[in-house]
Amino acid sequence: MMGNYVQTTTSYSRFRALVYRTLHRPYLATCLISYCVIALMVVFYLQLPPKYSSDFDMVLPGTGANSNVSLDDVGQVVSSTSAPFGKGYNPRVNYKEMLMSRNLLESAATALELDTKTFGRPKVRLTEQTSILNVEISASSAKLAEQKAWALFNALQNQLEFLRADEVARRDDSIKAVLDQYRERLNIARNNITDFQQRSLLVSTDQLTQHIATLANLKEQIVMMNAEIGRSEYYVSQLSVDLGVSPSMAGQAFALQSDGEFRNILI
């Protein structure tokens, strides 16, 4: 004798049956899981606060500058400034490192009264085959993003001005050191000239010219005296030959001949 059974279903049993049927259909399960993941990502993205970005481009000089000034009867001045891109390195990389440096970010954040973490780090992109440098920074509002971009640009300009001033100061110090050496050598030369003037009793240029003229006259007189001595020696030697005596006796006779007192006795 067979009995009759009555089975009742509940909500939980129907849910279990639905899950069981779903798990036995892999494609449907995969689609449901993917849909849930996408829905969670969309919800999470919608919960994020909005972000705004501001960017600017910097164009570095790509060619050098040449100038040529020529004045009649004065001279010619040529000035040439070569581009930094042709010396084996790219200056845009230096600018990028400066924009990403901690000191520059701290300076920009201080200008807006923010800390470095809140200010964030900019994105710097180098455009290939150009001299363009793109800088982008994000913020929670459009106005703050623009203020961050200007603060970053002003901080970079201040850093460049500081580096230029430091380079000029270093060059000035180097030039001053060279000028000090030349000045020291000039003072030594002046002291030597003064010492020479004191030892030689020379005071002015006219006096030096006069001394040079005197020395020239003395040299001319010495040449004339040497010539006169040569003629006298020749005359004495010729007289010794004519008289048949020694050159010393001929010299004595020549000296007596020129003596006025001896000539008076002979008369």
Q: Which pLDDT does position 71 carry in this prediction?
A: 66
Q: Which pLDDT does position 64 carry in this prediction?
A: 58
Confirm whether pTM is higher than 0.85: no
Counting as low any pLDDT under 70, the low residues of the chain are: 1-9, 12-13, 15, 17-29, 61-67, 69, 71-75, 77-89, 200-205, 236, 238-267
Model pLDDT for residues 95-138, shown as the tens digit of each residue: 888 888 898 999 999 998 888 888 888 998 888 777 788 889 98
Q: Which pLDDT does position 133 carry in this prediction?
A: 86
Q: What tokens were used for 159?
A: 């850093």
